[in-house]
């Protein structure tokens, strides 16, 4: 098999996990290509001896499977480069919480044995697409987690007029609005009171950020709907964040959000289930007294 590797380029102390990964891939006689920025980080910052591997930039690679070594942020970066290639992504979690990257370093050996025995499954995760007249946002308009509209600074709240398939939903007076996939429901949206949504539910969640009115609650809609947002701001601009990548927009920028025409494939072990991950990560039922 041929693997393409993306990794976290900020924490050299976690490079031991990369060494373990290289040993496992070598044992399986795997072909390897590595994102150039991660390769340079491992060589210069972590001072690792890297086995022979091809290097690539951005999305210029082909592989049977992509490996993301880091946290969910690293997984999102890998997913943005995979795009519509249809290559499944395996997330090895060296971060903290990890809903997308949910394979622990201790599980790596068993996981790769299962992969080579074809004992794994893939989950297809929906992606959001943003359309607008901002050229910077249109360079990378796809989000696996969420598209967030936010006030740019500490000034007063913004006004977001939201329509769904042309019908008025409401006008949010808030610090922002998060439009999230089921995958993103356990990310930014969850932190501001949004609902947790099962990954296969074919829905989109709209969650306001610090709304002016307490009766303005999150709403979940079918993912075949098109959402249009028109924003007004006293500063005449606002931020749009696509999976954390943010750009400033002028208030006359209309945002149209819909489900993209491709999905991201996430590699899962057979014994890893969403509700199990949820209980473990959220510590549901744990008695912390």
Residue 77 half-sphere exposure toward CB, CA atoms < 13 A: 19
Active site residue 59: no
187 is in an annotated binding site: yes
Question: What whole-number distance in Å separates Cα of residue 260 and Cα of residue 80?
Answer: 13
Tell whether residue 73 is among the known ligand binding residues.
yes
| Cα 160 to Cα 169: distance, rounded to the nearest angstrom | 11
Residue 241 labelled as part of a binding site = no
What span, in angstroms and rounded, lies between the C-alpha atoms of 211 and 203?
Answer: 22
> What does residue 235 show for φ and ψ, rounded to 5 degrees?
-85, 0
Beta bridge partners of 177: 149, 208
Tell me: is residue 189 an annotated ligand-binding position.
yes
Q: Is 134 annotated as a binding residue?
A: no
For residue 3, the number of C-alpha atoms closer than 13 Å in the C-beta half-sphere is 23
95 is in an annotated binding site: no
175 a known binding residue? Answer: yes
| Listed residue (154, 156, 129) closest to 242, CA to CA | 129
Structure tokens, 135: 């050229």
Residue whose C-alpha is closest to residue 240's, from 180, 177, 157: 177
Helix (H/G/I), strand (E/B), else coil: 214: coil
Distance linking the first and last C-alpha atoms of the chain: 48
Q: Is 139 annotated as a binding residue?
A: no
Residue 146 marked as a ligand binder: yes
| 104 annotated ligand binder | no
281 has binding-site annotation: no
- Reported in sequence order, the residue ranges of 27-156 that DSSP labels E, i.e. its strands, are 31-35, 54-56, 65-70, 89-93, 121-131, 142-143, 146-150
| Identified catalytic residue from 72, 153, 223, 243 | 72
Which residues fall in the annotated binding site? Answer: 72-73, 77, 145-146, 175, 186-191, 210
Which residues fall in the annotated binding site for NAD(+)? Answer: 72-73, 77, 145-146, 175, 186-191, 210
Catalytic positions, please? 72
């Amino acid at each position: 098999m041929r693997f393409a590797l993306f990794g976290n380029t900020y924490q050299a102390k976690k490079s031991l996990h990369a060494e373990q990964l290289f040993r496992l891939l070598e044992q399986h006689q795997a072909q390897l290509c590595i994102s150039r920025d991660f390769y340079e980080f491992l060589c210069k910052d972590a001072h690792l001896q890297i086995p022979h591997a091809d290097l690539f930039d951005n999305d210029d690679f082909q592989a049977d499977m992509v490996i993301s070594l880091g946290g969910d942020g690293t997984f999102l970066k890998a997913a943005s480069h995979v795009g519509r290639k249809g290559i499944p992504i395996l997330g090895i979690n060296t971060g903290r919480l990890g809903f997308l990257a949910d394979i622990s370093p201790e599980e790596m050996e068993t996981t790769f044995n299962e992969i080579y025995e074809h004992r794994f499954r893939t989950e297809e995760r929906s992606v959001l697409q943003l359309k607008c007249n901002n050229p910077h946002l249109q360079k990378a308009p796809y989000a696996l987690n969420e598209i967030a509209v936010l006030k740019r600074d500490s000034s007063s709240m913004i006004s977001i007029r939201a329509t769904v398939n042309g019908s008025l939903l409401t006008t949010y007076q808030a610090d922002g609005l998060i439009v999230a996939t089921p995958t993103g429901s356990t990310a930014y949206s969850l932190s501001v009171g949004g609902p947790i949504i099962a990954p296969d539910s074919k829905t989109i969640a709209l969650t306001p950020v610090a709304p002016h009115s307490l009766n303005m609650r999150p709403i979940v809609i079918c993912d075949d709907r098109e959402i249009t947002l028109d924003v007004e701001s006293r500063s005449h601009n606002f931020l749009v964040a696509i999976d954390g990548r943010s750009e400033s927009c002028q208030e006359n920028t209309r945002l149209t959000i819909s489900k993209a025409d491709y999905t991201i494939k996430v590699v899962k072990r057979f014994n890893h289930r969403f509700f199990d991950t949820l209980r473990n990560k959220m510590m549901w039922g744990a008695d912390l007294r």
